[in-house]
Structure 1
Amino acid sequence: MNGFLLEVKENTIIESQKISSWQKIEAEYKDILSYKYLNNWEEIELPAEWSEAEQLTTFFKSDFAFPADNQENMIWKFDFETGGEALLSINGEIVHGLDRNHKEMIIDSNQYAGQEVELVIEAALDRINKIYLEIEGYKHSFSRAEFKIVDREGKSFYYNLLSLFELKNELQGIEKEKYKKIEVIYQKLKEMYYNQKRKNAKIDFKFLNKVYHSEIEKIESENNYKIACFGHAHIDLAWLWQFKETVRKSARSFSTALNLLKAYPEFKFIQSQPKLYQYMEECFPELFARIKEEVKENNWQVEGGMWVEADTNLISGESLVRQFLYGKKYIKDHFGEDSKVLWLPDVFGYTASLPQIMKKAEVDYFMTSKISWNDTNDFPYSIFNWVGIDGSEVLTHVPRVILPYTYNGEVDAAKIKEIENNYEEQKKENVFDYKFGDSSNYFKKDRVIPDNNLIYIYGYGDGGGGVTEEFIEKLKRFKELPYLADIDFSQPREYFKRIDQERKENNISYPDWRGELYLEYHRGTYTSQAEIKLKNRRLEEKLKKAEILNTIYQITDQKTLEKLWQDVLSNQFHDILPGTSIKEVYQDVNQVYKKVEQELNQIINDNLEQALSLNKNSSDADQKTLDNNQVDYFVVWNSLGRQRNSYLEIECSQLNIDFEAGIRVQSWPEAEDLKFCFKKDLSSKEMLKIYLDKISGLSAKIIKIEAVGKNNSKEFKSSYMKKNYIPNQLQEKSAQIENQYYRLQFDSQGRISSIYDKKLERELIESGEKANQLQFFVDQPPRYDAWEIEADFAEKEIKNELNLETLTVAEDDLEKRAIISWTFRDSTIKQEIILLTDKKRIDFKSSLDWQEREILVKTAFPVNLLSEQASYEIAFGQINRPTTSNTDYEKAQFEVPAHRWADLSESGFGVSLLNDSKYGYDIKNNLMRLTLLKSSNYPDPTADAGKHNFIYSLYSHSGSLRKSRTLNEAENINEKLVSKKIKSVRKYMGDETTHNLLNSILEFKKGKSRLTALKKAEKDKAVILRFYEPYGGRDRIKIKIADYFKIEKVAEVNLLENPVEKQSEIKLDNNLLSFELSKFEIKTIKLYLK
């Protein structure tokens, strides 16, 4: 800003009063709004430095008397330079947030005129400046506190001049004629101002403003663009701060927005994330009530669709459903609003199943800006139809603006012109139209932008703060100024409805984008903070299990499960689950996860206990053996909706019997002998492993483990070690394991030199290559450490530092395994490579004690096949991606997200790489890689350090992916059998009013689709069933539902459990449910009960 403008701003001040008498007190911020005061109030003089300690809060207070006179032509303001981030309260009422961008605030003179009040400022660390920007020598200093009375017309004149100044500077040297016209007006106003000043008269700002408007109106200007400006405050639920700080950040940002809404009738505000509103409801009910009033007046829009702005690459399909279900439910219940826009400005890529989920959650529009962050290819469209894997489409807008203002926009003339110019350039460019996986469809075409409806999202964000007075004042003037787009203070819902209506009325055809919105950036987020990703997946599975059982046996209420869901959903926020937050955030998350897991375990166990207590005929003989400690019983429940053969592992420490003397394991009451073995896992725990054959879907078996003496059964030490290999004596292919399906041979470094599929008579590994290569790469991206993997990572491989320590081969009745230990620098890696007797699958059970920094870890399988595309599981389906690197689009996808499996297939044969907790894949040509660890330094210098336990698996198949068991095996390694030790058993469980746990709750008679939810309906006496088609084809389903459910009628509903307008054909005959699913369809069925 030049000297003239500064002078004008100073001359708008009628009166200024310093507030010099202050006291302060320090407190430790323990938990949400919980403080431990460390000293007493003490007098201070400004300027006063205060502590930057992470967990310290400093309170300042002062008494202040407002003037009695509050004339219409005067504006009252406070001007504070507190340092850090702070919140101002007047007489206990929250008024405004204070930070590096919000120092001045308008005060309602009608409310406070003549009052004596107490001012309290709560101040804390500015984490953006201190941690993210790392400003050298940054100190917190409370240096200014002033009350100002400003001339209303003078303030208006100042912003008129400032807007002209910015516009003329933007036009200078580019559009000379336009520049001259604006420059003439600016200089004329400047001259008139100084003429008045030379006469020592009071500046007549009102007259100068009239001249300004008169001169502006003389300029004829055409601009075809209209920019919808959305004021908001992007608040990360956690990132460089903990959840408890987010509560305070929200209060600061929201109070600022409320103050601006009061001062500016034209201003509109939008805020997403019901979780933030829940914080306000619980912690700041007065603010929450004021927000509700502004929502009612249509000044504040509660939008976003989801519970939080969640990552969409990593979370399950059912989690995505619940994000919408509980997010929209909260908005409807508390604000009476129906959210129609998915608002995800800062999420790291968008799964291809999202359009269908949105449409079935009654969300029609999508807004993101993150795709404009691509590091390789410029995303070709701004307004377009995003088409999902099932064909569903949603109208989408990606604002086309330069970094870093994609969603934290500042307001000046340069930004407004930049938006226009970017769209003009976009019209001129050519774009490659390339359908991934189809090399024949690769050509150039003209880019078409059929609309002039642009978006600008403004307001300081990430750490909140939001809109400023200056932003609003400038936008008001930009709306009037020539040579700029038509500015509209707007909100997302109205914007999308308008352009959608214009599209229909004018028959506008927007371009289509099919498949995922892959972000060519932040690829490390599929891997960072591996423990958090594993726990999220386990809890997603456990929530499903708890809901199914609780629907039948009803131990807890729906609200309890909803709260547990919300806790998990909150931690799916896009800086938490992706692994890009500080250490303290993950300490908080682990505490939440621990509590949720404990509660879910309790719900599952209590429901199983309830099921087992529904017995009228106990077995005295069995009860007697229990009393003699000669028998242990376990109930084992299959949570999948299909029959499975599976393995159960029980810690021997759970057994009360004298198992070393010999045991028998049987199903009860059938008394069928079950295969079992004893083994030690990688942590040396003694385990009993049992093979269970043909457990029906959603049903249980009772396992009886009985001590029978040495002469009648196996001894404890029946798993004999077959051979130990000394590393320096281990010869190529001298160590091997083999079962009926595979033969594996190991080289002298413990790598696999051969995997031979005995059934298919085919070698899986390319000749001369090694499989299960543990690869290590230097991982030091120049910025965004936890977020990034560099495109040239493969050139930075660390070789010859993985040292084999031991390789042991063992076998028993259930498995053949190689137990291998390596060291890498200061870290240890152990694996059990397991061939199961009754499974065609190779498991790599892994245990790492990781002590390295900034090293990327992958496992590699160079397979003996070639395909131009690979298939990857995503939420509610799968997608194909190219394995080639022909184009820049293909090259950019050097690391991609997937869920439980990826598959590389050629005609008649394929190999699948499965996992139980990983998300980053890298499949190029015939090399299949899974990323295991990242261990970044920023923002958490301890990320991924310590112990990790996980499984990945290899599975080969004949035929197509659809005909394979890839999905079944992925389910088997992820969704373990539920087991519970029980005190007694009963031969009869259930009667006409209860369900027998040993029988299936529902049983698939036909079809390959998957059950993803069985839950109590949100309303009505009803049960919800949700299915999806996973392979990309049509599927006819027949399901037998347990007689326990007395079904009155069935109906198709959407994901919000509202009836769909066009009902599909669903037949119900004696509890046999028949229906059809189309390609990747998600179908939700409501069973109305009698």
Structure 2
Amino acid sequence: MKKTGQLVLVLALALAGTASPAPAEFNPFGYTLRLVGHAHIDLAWLWRWEETLRDVVAQTFRGTLDIMDKVKGLTFAQSQVCLYEAVERDDPRMFDRIKAKVREGTWIPVGGMWSESDLNLTDGESLVRQLLYGQRYLREKLGAQARVGWCPDSFGHNAQLPQILKKSMVDYYVLERCVPDKTPAFWWEAPDSSRVLAYAPPGWYNLNLRDGVERVVAQVAEDYPLIKEFMILYGEGDHGGGPRRTDVEAYRKSVKSNSWPRMAFADPNVFFDRISRSGIEFPVVKRELNFTFPACYTTQARMKKLNRRAESLLLAAERFSGLAKFAGFRDYYPERDLDEAWKVVLRHQFHDILDGSSIGPVYEDAAESFRKVMERGRRALDFSLETITNVIDTRGPGRPVVVFNSLFWERTGEVEAELDVPRESSDAGLRLVDPEGRDVPCQVLKLEPRGGAARMRVLFVAEKVPSFGYKVYRLDEARGKPSEAPGLSVSETSLENEFFRVVLNPEGGGMRSILDKRSGREVLSAEGNVLEAIADEPENMSAWELGLKDRVGRVGQGGALLDVVEKGPVRVTVRVTGSFRGSRFVQDISLYLGLPRIDCRLRFDWQERNIMIKAAFPAAARNSQAYFEIPFGAVSRPTDGAEVPALRWIDLTDESGEFGLILLNDCKHGFDVKDNVLRLSVIHGPTYPDPEADRGPQELLYSLYPHAGSWREAGTVRRGYELNTPLEARPAMIHSGSWPASASFITAEPEGVVVSAFKKEYGYFYHGFILRFYEAFGKTAEVKIDFPWPVRAEEANLIDYTERALPLQDGKVTFILKPHEIKAIKIYRILPSGD
């Protein structure tokens, strides 16, 4: 998106547009402009991906190659590796011309990412995959890996990005939005102290040289006089075709007149190398570079949900597919399926697509693309779990159900399992036992006759499922009465388990009270789970900008219907039905036996425009700062009511440090915290560029997790992953096997260390497996990883290249993680001789 470039440039970056007058005292003598041709290409925005390939890329690349043939030395920088792959596939002759220019040194691949991604709403693993697939493709196909990161149009930049770039062999970074005031060049430092030299080119990323650049340079020179040479990006993006004829004419005129500032074609790599070694002490910025376009955290909710679902599924599929291969349970790893699925996800993480600022047909295309992604991911996951199930000893009475945990810590969570049973089955004699023979309460959710049999769906809470492992449960209809479990109770206006008593308002359905029975403390300071309706009237660009004004009502303000819809031994649920104007909302509020979490599953039919719905929770906790999950970490932000992005959770811990409240979600990204009130942005109704954005059925899950102590002590990071990464249940045949009824394949400690990935290393002909970690608590950690097989290990960078060997201690892989550090290790299984 480039339409608002000049406006944002003036207001947010304090850099001058071409209309800004030059300071009268400015003397251009001694200044040099390093000219880099560029075409910013929106993969899909006010047009679809098909048009981008057919018209935009073909026109831009061909026109640029033609002008490069005519103008000696003209350089061109192009990002977004998915475009290179498309050209290689669709137009091999053009691709050969590009390769020749790359060898010549005039066409410079930059960015190293599969797309110019959103950088706040994607999982950290997605950002790593952007660079993994991008950098490896560039090296393999063009022999020219990117050293300059390139996201000039992305809507903000998370705090861990410098580390991700640096550990992906990227030293520099080009951006335009959210640049610190009067700081066009600076060292940007991640929390682990990794740095990249960041630079905001004067005049935005599509300057027209014909309009004159002296005023632009003069303004930046006034703000930051240490720099005497500037890299300028010129050329028209999208349907404009790259460097213009008028740009070339302006360059030739400048060279012929020998006037100042001097102009010279340049390679961005060389420019950065020069200024980084110039001796200038650039300022150091140690924070996230946000915020802009806050509506984009919420717009096009279905797109954001598809992305979250796909990320979680592909990561789980990789882990178990990798395990099946690494452990020798099978020889096959579905590399091509997973690679192609990831590439589709990464392309749709392009900022205008994921952020919701594209036209409606873009999201119709995305829905179909993600349907295929989910098919690939589910196929890979199912095949791997079936393979692993076949090596487990499932002998014993009853029907075995294997529960798999794809996360790298022992966890307790709800499980739904489907299995075929005799047609006459019911819950009257149903009994579920764990591997030790202990009764486990279970609840029949559905029983459907199917011919001579029936399909039963059961719900239970699986306790202490081993880290990256499994546990076998047995369902037996012939061994006694149904399991009973005291501790759950429900009425139309209250729910209770061993942890909480929740009281609902019979008028509107909000939560009047949440009593934490463990501490005796009230969680809320006023009625919570109120679905507030707020007038949202931005002056323009409603997909991007919020114009929140007064509250104009709430869901259920005319009355709500409360019904008990589940009253089982595992889960109790009250359904709250209400409306706001023409939109109907149905919310299921649930408590589970054994889980200290309050679930709110919301389904609604959205029909409003220029309204935002926020779920509000006035907490008993108070603090001037709250914590928000970001890719590979968390940041503290003031509780000033600003709309900000987050991933799976936000937390408000009381300033005493004794208690707090976590708000978890399965697909949302927009939040605000004002004093003690946490609010989740549920939906809004923009009118441009898609007047029908988000209209129709929607569904989401958010959960409350009251806790003692700090967010670290509460295991907040783990709770966020658990809500988004379900335990997987698989019915099994009864058979012998080499693995017991419960086992962990890989364990990692301590608690503040998160394993974000386990996968085969990149490349069909390479045989290592990657484990990626990040330190989440801001503390130095000694990491110990235990395997049930002998292994050897190497440290790798984030794009899977080996850096050094790692020693083993007592058969365990051990290393140090610095605070907030991201690290990958590559492991190889050592097979017994003769295998």
Whether 1:485 and 2:261 are equivalent positions in the alignment is: yes
Q: Where in structure 2 are the equivalents of 1:1054-1069 lying within 5 Å? A: 1054-1060=797-803, 1066-1069=806-809
**Are 2:572 and 1:832 aligned?**
no
Q: Distance in 1 between matches of 2:530 and 2:702?
A: 13
Determine whether 1:1042 maps to 2:818. no
**Residues of 2 paired with 1:171 and 1:481: CA distance?**
24
Match of 1:758 in 2: 517
- Go from structure 1 to structure 2 and tell me whether the alpha carbon gap of 1:1069 and 1:663 turns closer, same or farther (over 3 Å shift): farther
Query: What's the CA shift string for 1:722-750, capped at 9, x where partnerless?
Result: 545xxxxxxxxxx3222222222222211
Paired residue type of 2:208: E
Cα deviations by residue, 1:886-908 (Å, 9 ceiling, x for unpaired): xxxxxxx7110111111111222
Partner of 1:244: 50
Give the match for residue 901 of structure 1.
Answer: 649
Q: Is the 8 A contact 1:770 1:862 kept in 2?
A: yes
CA distance in 1, matches of 2:599, 2:140: 47
After TM superposition, give the deviation of residue 632 of structure 1 in Å. Answer: 4.8
Q: For 1:641-720, what aligned pairs fall within 5 Å after superposition?
A: 641-650=408-417, 658-660=424-426, 662-667=428-433, 670-679=436-445, 688-708=458-478, 712-713=481-482
Tell me if the contact between 1:579 and 1:786 (Cα under 8 Å) persists in the aligned partners: yes
1:221-370 matched pairs, under 5 angstroms: 223-248=29-54, 249-370=56-177
SS at match of 2:354: coil
- Seen in structure 2, the aligned counterparts of structure 1 residues 128 and 835 have a Cα distance that, compared at 3 Å, is closer
Is 1:979 matched up with 2:707?
no
Deviation of the 1:668 alpha carbon: 6.3
Distance 2:684 2:601 in 1: 19
* Cα distance in 2 for residues equivalent to 1:273 and 1:1006: 37
Superposition map of 1:127-276 within 5 A? 223-248=29-54, 249-276=56-83
The Cα of 1:802 is off from its aligned counterpart by 3.6
Q: What amino acid maps onto 1:410 in structure 2?
A: N
Q: 1:584 to 1:916 in 2, by over 3 A?
A: same
Aligned residue type for 1:866: R
TM-score by length of 1: 0.69
Distance 1:421 1:952, change over 3 A: same
Q: Following TM superposition, by how much is the alpha carbon of 1:705 offset from its aligned partner in structure 2, in angstroms?
A: 2.5
Q: Match of 1:689, SS?
A: strand
Q: Shift in Å at residue 678 of structure 1?
A: 3.3
What displacement does 1:843 show? 1.3
- CA gap of 1:763–1:232, structure 2 versus 1, over 3 A, is same
Quick one: which amino acid aligns to residue 1001 of structure 1?
A: F
Q: By how many angstroms is 1:222 displaced? A: 5.4
Q: How much does 1:231 deviate?
A: 0.8
Q: Over aligned residue pairs, what C-alpha RMSD do you find?
A: 3.0
Which is worse superposed, 312-321 or 491-500?
491-500
Paired residue for 2:273, among 497, 514, 535? 497
Q: Which amino acid aligns with 1:247?
A: L
What secondary structure sits across from 1:932 in the alignment? strand
Does the 8 Å contact 2:2/2:153 carry over to 1? no
Task: Measure the CA separation in 2 of the matches of 1:407 and 1:358.
Answer: 21
Matched AA of 1:756: L
Query: Residues 229 and 874 from structure 1, CA distance in 2 versus in 1: closer, same or farther, beyond 3 angstroms?
Result: same
Aligned mate of 1:392, from 190, 194, 203: 194
- Report if the CA contact (8 A) 1:408-1:462 is conserved: no
User: How far 1:801 moved relative to its partner?
Assistant: 6.6
Q: Which runs of 5+ in 1 are unaligned?
A: 1-126, 133-168, 179-220, 373-377, 428-448, 623-630, 725-734, 885-892, 991-995
C-alpha deviation, 1:1088, in angstroms: 3.0
Question: Structure 1 pair 223/720, CA: closer, same or farther in 2 (3 Å)?
Answer: closer
Distance in 2 separating the partners of 1:701 and 1:722: 30
Letter in 2 for 1:899: L
Aligned to 2:545: 788
Alpha-carbon distance in 2 for matches of 1:690, 1:481 = 80
Q: Which whole-Å CA distance do the structure 1 matches of 2:412 and 2:388 have between them? A: 23
Alignment gaps of 5+ in structure 2: 6-17, 326-331, 448-454, 831-835
Deviations 1:316-335 (A, max 9, x none): 11111111111000110111
Structure-2 residue corresponding to 1:436: none
Q: CA deviation at 1:842?
A: 1.4
Match of 2:452 in 1: none
CA offset at residue 510 of structure 1? 0.6
1:417 aligned to which of 202, 205, 214: 214
| Pairing 1:21-100 to 2, within 5 Å after superposition | none
Change in CA separation of 1:763 and 1:552 when aligned onto 2, cut-off 3 Å: closer
Contact 2:435 2:741 in 1 (8 A): no
Pick aligned residue for 1:779 from 536, 541, 551: 536
Are the counterparts in 2 of residues 236 and 464 from structure 1 also a CA contact under 8 Å?
Answer: no
Please report how far the alpha carbon of residue 655 of structure 1 lies from its aligned counterpart in structure 2 after TM superposition. 5.3
Q: Is the 8 A contact 2:338 2:376 kept in 1?
A: no
Question: Match of 1:961, as an amino acid?
Answer: W
Contact 2:60 2:239 in 1 (8 A): no
CA distance in 2, matches of 1:713, 1:672: 13
Q: 1:949 aligned to 2:699?
A: yes
Shift of 1:1070: 4.7
Aligned residues: 797
Conserved 8 A contact 2:28-2:214:
no
Length-normalised TM-score, structure 2: 0.90
- Kindly report which structure 2 residues correspond to 1:438-449, keeping only aligned pairs within 5 A, or say none: 449=225
Q: Is the 8 A contact 2:671 2:681 kept in 1?
A: yes
**Conserved 8 A contact 1:533-1:917:** yes
Q: 1:971 to 1:963 in 2, by over 3 A?
A: same
CA distance in 2, matches of 1:784, 1:367: 25
Separation (CA, whole Å) in 2 of partners of 1:896 and 1:170:
32
> Following superposition of structure 1 onto structure 2, how do residues 467-546 of structure 1 map, counting pairs within 5 Å?
467-481=243-257, 484-502=260-278, 506=279, 508-519=280-291, 521-546=292-317
Partner of 1:737: 495
SS in 2 for 1:412: helix
Given the alignment of the two structures, is residue 843 of structure 1 paired with residue 594 of structure 2, yes or no? no
- State how far apart, in whole Å, the 2-side matches of 1:649 and 1:969 are: 18
Quote the Cα distance in structure 1 between the aligned partners of 2:436 and 2:677: 48
Q: Assess, with a 3 A threshold, how the Cα gap between structure 1 residues 665 and 322 changes in structure 2: closer, same or farther.
A: farther
Identity of aligned residues (%): 32
Instruction: Give CA-to-partner distance per residue, 1:769-794, whole Å, 9 cap, x none.
Output: 3211101122232222211112xx14
CA distance in 1, matches of 2:443, 2:508: 29
Asked if the contact 1:611/1:989 (under 8 Å) is kept, the reply is no
Give the drift of 1:1004. Answer: 3.0
Larger RCO (CA within 8 A; separation ≥ 6): 2
Give distance in 2, aligned partners of 1:362 and 1:665.
55
Q: Give the whole-Å Cα distance in 2 for the aligned partners of 1:656 and 1:467.
A: 71
**Paired residue type of 2:345:** V
Q: CA deviation at 1:997?
A: 8.7
The Cα of 1:172 is off from its aligned counterpart by 11
Distance change (3 Å), C-alpha of 1:230 and 1:686: farther
